[in-house]
Amino acid sequence: MQRMTRSADYLPYESFFIDYTNSGKEHRKPLEHFHDTFELAFFVRADIHIFVKDTKYHIREGDWLLINPYEIHSIFYNPAHDYTRYVLQFNEGFLKDLLAALSLEGRLAALQLKRNKRACLDLPQRMRVEAMYRSLLQLYEQQPGNDGKRYGLHPSDAELKLHLALLLLEYDKLCETAAAARRVRPSEDPVREIIAYLDDHYMEPVQLHDLEHHFGRSKFTICRQFSQTTQFTVVEYLQYRRVIEAQKRLIQTEQPILDIALDCGFQSIQHFYRIFKKICGRTPLQYRRNELP
C-alpha cells in the first residue's frame, strides 16, 4: 500500500496465485500495501526489511513469512543485494473443503494467531521448501487457459489444493522450531502499544493529543517513533485501518454505506468516499458490487 502522498496500492487477488521473481539487484521503491488474501513468501536470496502490522522483520536467505489478509505491510528493498523469492496468495475459501475433509478446519485460524510468522530455515529445509514451491508453480502454469498471470485459475484443482495444504503444514511445523524464534527490539515495543491502541479505537475520532494523554509522551515523540518504525504516519495508519474494516463490512454485511463509514471512524460520507477511493482505486459502492458473489 502506498503512502497517502502517492497512489495507494490495494492488491485484489483471485482465489489462488503464485509467482517467482529472480531480479538480481532489486531497485524497487519501498512498497506499502495490503490485500484480502493470505500471502506466504519464501525468500531464496534477500536482504530486506518488512514491517507487518506491528512487527518488523529483517528478511534474509531462507526466511519464510506468512502475512494475514488485510494486514498492512511495508517492504524495504536493498539495491545492493540479489533478490529471489517465491510468493503465493490464496483466500480462505480456496482450501476450505479440503481442510474440512482432512479434519483441519481450524488450521488457518491457528496460523493467523501466531505471534511470530517467520520461519528461518536451514539448508536442507530450504531445499525441501523450494522444491515444494517449484511443484506448485509448475502445476499453476499448467492450468488450462492459464498464461501464468494471477487471474485464470479455476479453484477446483484438487492436486494444486493438496500441494498447498502440504506446504502450509510444513510451514506450521517449521515455524514452531527454535530457529523461528525472534526477539522484539526494545525500540519496537512503544510502537506496538500505539498500534494496539489505534486498533482498539479506530472507530473513534482519535487525535494526537489523545495519544499524548494516554501514553504520557509528547505527540512529537510518538509521531517520530511511529513513522521511523512503520514508515506510516499515525493519520495514514488510522485511515488504512478504517478502510480495511470498511472493506470487510461492505462484503460481509448489508449495512448501509453511511452507517459503515460512521462506524469505522469517518466523520462524514464525503471523507469516507475520498479516502476509500484513494486507497482502493474505486468507491465503496463499486467495491461492494464487484466483490460480492
CB 63 within 8 A of CB 119: yes
Q: At what angle do helices 234-252 and 219-230 cross, to 10 degrees?
A: 60
**Residue 288 corresponds to which cell in the numbers above?**
461492494
CB neighbour list of residue 163: distance below 8 Å, 6 or more residues apart: 132, 135, 136, 139
pLDDT of residue 252: 82
pLDDT at residue 178, rounded to an integer: 42
Strands 31-35 and 55-60: unpaired
pTM: 0.69
Sign of CA dihedral 258, 259, 260, 262: positive
pLDDT at 75: 85
| Class of the domain covering 10-180 | mainly beta
pLDDT of residue 196: 85
Q: Is 33 helix (H, G, I), strand (E, B) or coil?
A: strand
Q: Dihedral sign for Cα 160, 163, 165, 167, please.
A: negative
- Number of residues written out for the chain: 293
CA 231 from centroid of its chain's CA atoms:
15
Q: Smallest Cα–Cα separation from 193: which of 216, 164, 161?
A: 216
- Do the bridges between strand 31-35 and strand 10-11 make them parallel or antiparallel, or are there none, so unpaired? parallel
Amino acid, single-letter form, for residue 27 = H
Q: Which residue, 116, 94, 62, 205, is CA-closest to 160?
A: 94
pLDDT tens-digit map of 192-203: 889 889 988 999
Question: What residue segments make up the domains of the chain, in order of their start?
Answer: 10-180, 186-291
Q: CA–CA separation, 233 vs 147, rounded Å?
A: 39
H-run or E-run covering 64 = strand 63-67
**225-237 residue pLDDT tens:** 888 877 788 998 8
Q: Which residue positions in the chain have pLDDT lower than 50?
A: 1-8, 10-12, 148-153, 155-156, 178-184, 186
C-alpha angle 225-231-235 in degrees, rounded to nearest 5: 80
pLDDT of residue 43: 93
What is the predicted pLDDT for the residue at 175? 83
Give the pLDDT of residue 27. Answer: 55
The answer regarding whether domain 186-291 maps to CATH 1.10.10.60 reads: yes
